[in-house]
A and B are shown apart, each in its own frame.
Chain A
């Protein structure tokens, strides 16, 4: 181990390697509920070459390597379950290129979502990307790695669908270029017209390589944004409401939330609809189209638009949305975790009722959020529970509630998003065996010595 440390220091410099108790403690856990496990080292690479050298060293020595962005998935995906080296990627945070005309950017593998937003705001105010509501520190590479979703997901699908190219350090230390950038200087497409090899990496949770560069689609940024909330007191109306709204093709993003506190929110389902436009007329037209699409619910008294106060409006319009984080402090406890299956929108009523039932059964404070993916093709439904980090019993109850939530989701046809190790196992068991074998084959070929984020996506 001393030898590995010395060699890590040779690669990244002594300042950026640690095997001290403090880093081993901190990088051995995340803010969620998964059991901690200390790494042997934490290393902070600054260049692709350094990542390569580290991975080559790990490959030779059979030492695990766990790439980490901000560690904010909450499901323990960066906890080094088998020790080894945690690669904190956040020193690699340069925005390398913005192609204004072709609307894409190339960023390094540790670039925070917040930093790209700030950069575009300052230098390319007519461009935007699909910003998730995770804290600004979370990284773009990790977000596409886990098939994240952001503000443009209702229009364009998962954030991973918006990738235009990747540079990946393979578990052997080779560097692969994925997409048009493999043969062209231009990063316009991750796949077409070539075979789309990005699937060898996206969704693999860092078990097939380390992303060192991401090409990402940028989209027109309209001058204005607005938000409206449509409320209904029955979850049963939600699928139809979403169908009608998405049919208009007029919205930026659609989220749904339901929560018992404060009392004004209780028993209601809030469909939060975001609009954008370059002129008042455009914005008005889009809003009118959506209002009109919801006429029948209003007429039947099944729902209506609520007045959104300026404070709430501002908080909803924030990008990224800081208030999404503060759910962690509802019990003055500093923690929340959610099981967030990707599931059909028509399952909203069942999911919602299940969440109510679990909250009651385990006596927990909850929050339901759903983000519509594409034109109602699916949604991410988050069964979120907040917990007090100083209350072991409450944490156990949340663990139990989440386990039940994910069992339910799987039985309802959902597929776990950013799955815990336990959920990964269940997915693999439930999966079509040929698909499972295919995954196994890919993993074995790409990572023959099993050093990349081991413990994850391990085929039973």
Chain B
């Protein structure tokens, strides 16, 4: 297994479970299950035990490994020098489990669906571009940016609304961009996170080939997960493109004066998506956009930026739901945090977060207290003229 030589270095001391000030447990799977086996240190010790033959690859072991949201909070808070590798270690263990042929059924179904249908929704590939019907968007030919939407923005109802808002916004700002429509392929970030390296390679190589053939230079992604794959994984496979998350592009447009807003009179709190924040270090761009909207009162949750609590959708859990369910599911906890902060709107910059957190609101019966809006949606509503 990759990184096997690090496993024994975990001291199981638990710094990784917390926020920086130790006020809360910040590992979503530990927070939900509460056995130390579900904390990062538990995973480290159990992976080693599995490799040494001390425990089997059981349904429980799979639940432990696959309830990790790859949120990266442990990477941020572990006290040891190998901390940067923690998420990669958990992904490597999943790779090993995929090779072993024993993974949880929802993970198997997800991977199968990507393999067969090219997307996790078992939807026809030809419908991938349907979200853009009637929208002011062109297929990518030689525009400045390729707008990459991803599976959730293409197929999921909530995701589609966000994709549309972003496309409208970009065209109102006069950005030269095109989309791939039904030629778009899954970016593979979640495939990799779930441990299917072979399928990820195939997707990445196909994407890189297509982007090259189309002469793509700059990509702007709707989804922070795709942003992560393109930015972190693709270069090593020959895919060197300039990659932006859409909030970064919007914040540039705001500072250039290409986007300006009239007003949005609500109290808004921003939820940092793990793959934009901790994984990519981008905390400012989304806040800059919100701060440029007159009337918008931006507040912070106690757990924000590096200490943000994951919505529970990362690491494939959006699709497999191994971490979800019940009062202590991360999306419900996150909603409670947003309400406690006094927010009327929970702003997101990721369609997976949007959907997870909306479900959280339903679970908490807080529909009359708070709603979830993507930054693209807020910006579109607040647009001048």
What is the interface of chain A, defined by CB distance below 8 A to chain B?
15-16, 18, 20-23, 25-27, 30-31, 42, 44, 70-72, 88, 90-91, 112, 114-115, 117-119, 121-122, 135-137, 322-323, 325-326, 328-329, 332-335, 388-390
Contact = CB atoms under 8 A, between A and B. Distances in A.
Contact of B34 (A16, A21, A25, A333): A16
A72 B15 CA distance: 12
24 contacts: A15-B326, A18-B35, A20-B58, A22-B46, A22-B61, A25-B54, A26-B45, A27-B36, A72-B14, A88-B36, A91-B34, A114-B23, A119-B23, A136-B22, A322-B15, A325-B13, A325-B80, A326-B80, A326-B81, A328-B80, A329-B11, A329-B82, A334-B8, A388-B8
Nearest to B33: A15
A151 to B, nearest CB: 15
A117 B19 CA distance: 13
B22 A334 contact: no
A388 B8 CA distance: 8
Nearest to A135: B13
Contact of A137 (B15, B34, B37, B56): B15
A323 B54 CA distance: 31
B13 A329 contact: no
B14 A23 contact: no
Q: Could you say which interface size class chain B belongs to?
A: 20 to 34
Given A115-B22, A118-B23, A88 B13 contact: no
Nearest to B54: A25
Most A C-beta atoms less than 10 A away, residue of B36, B61, B326: B36
B46 A334 contact: no
Contacts of B12: 30-31, 71
B17 interface: yes
A21 B55 contact: yes
B135 interface: no
A71 B22 CA distance: 18
A388 B61 CA distance: 25
A369 to B, nearest CB: 17
A325 B15 contact: yes
B15 A136 contact: yes
Contacts of B81: 326, 329
Nearest to B16: A137
B293 interface: no
Contacts of B14: 70, 72, 135-137
Contacts of B82: 329
B35 A44 contact: yes
B34 A44 contact: yes
A335 B11 contact: yes
Top 3 A-B pairs, shortest CB-CB distance: A114-B22, A137-B14, A118-B23
B34 A90 contact: yes
Nearest to A24: B55
Interface of B: 8-15, 17-18, 21-23, 33-37, 42, 45-46, 49, 54-56, 58, 60-61, 64, 79-82, 326
Nearest to A26: B37
A204 B359 CA distance: 48
A21 B11 contact: no
B9 A389 contact: yes
A76 B49 CA distance: 19
B36 A333 contact: no
Given A22-B37, A22-B46, A22-B64, A72 B23 contact: no
B11 A25 contact: no
A279 B36 CA distance: 43
Given A44-B34, A335-B11, A118 B79 contact: no
A322 B21 CA distance: 12
Contacts of A389: 8-9
Contacts of A15: 33, 326
A222 to B, nearest CB: 20
Contacts of B21: 118, 121-122
Contacts of B23: 114-115, 118-119, 122
A386 B33 CA distance: 32
A390 B331 CA distance: 38
A31 B55 contact: no
B17 A22 contact: no
B22 A72 contact: no
Contacts of A70: 14
Contacts of A22: 37, 46, 55, 58, 60-61, 64
Contacts of B11: 31, 325, 328-329, 334-335
Chain A CB within 10 Å, residue with most, of B9, B34, B46, B82: B9
Contacts of B8: 333-334, 388-390
A254 B173 CA distance: 62
Nearest to A113: B22
A16 to B, nearest CB: 7
A88 B35 contact: yes
Given A119-B23, A136-B22, A137-B14, A322 B79 contact: yes
B36 A26 contact: yes
Contacts of B60: 18, 20-22
B64 to A, nearest CB: 6
A357 B243 CA distance: 58
B35 A23 contact: yes
A42 B42 CA distance: 14
A72 B13 contact: yes
Contacts of B55: 21-22, 25
Given A114-B22, A322-B15, A23 B37 contact: yes
Contacts of A71: 12, 36
Contact of A135 (B15, B34, B56): B15
A16 B13 CA distance: 21
A332 B9 contact: yes
Residue of B11, B56, B61 with highest tally of chain A CB at under 10 A: B11
A390 B51 CA distance: 13
A42 B18 contact: no
Contacts of B56: 21
Contacts of A44: 34-35
A140 to B, nearest CB: 13
A25 B18 CA distance: 23
Contacts of A18: 35, 60
B12 to A, nearest CB: 5
A388 B11 CA distance: 11
Given A114-B18, A118-B22, A118-B23, A334 B54 contact: no
Contacts of A119: 23
A446 to B, nearest CB: 28
Among B13, B33, B34, the one with the most A-chain Cβ atoms within 10 Å of its Cβ is: B13
Contacts of B15: 135-137, 322, 325
A456 B79 CA distance: 31
B9 A137 contact: no
B79 A137 contact: no
Contacts of B36: 26-27, 71, 88
A25 B46 CA distance: 8
Nearest to A119: B23
B64 A333 contact: no
A90 B291 CA distance: 40
Given A118-B21, A389-B9, A390-B8, A329 B34 contact: no
Contacts of B58: 20-22
A137 B77 CA distance: 12
Nearest to A20: B60
A236 to B, nearest CB: 34
A361 B64 CA distance: 42
Nearest to A18: B35
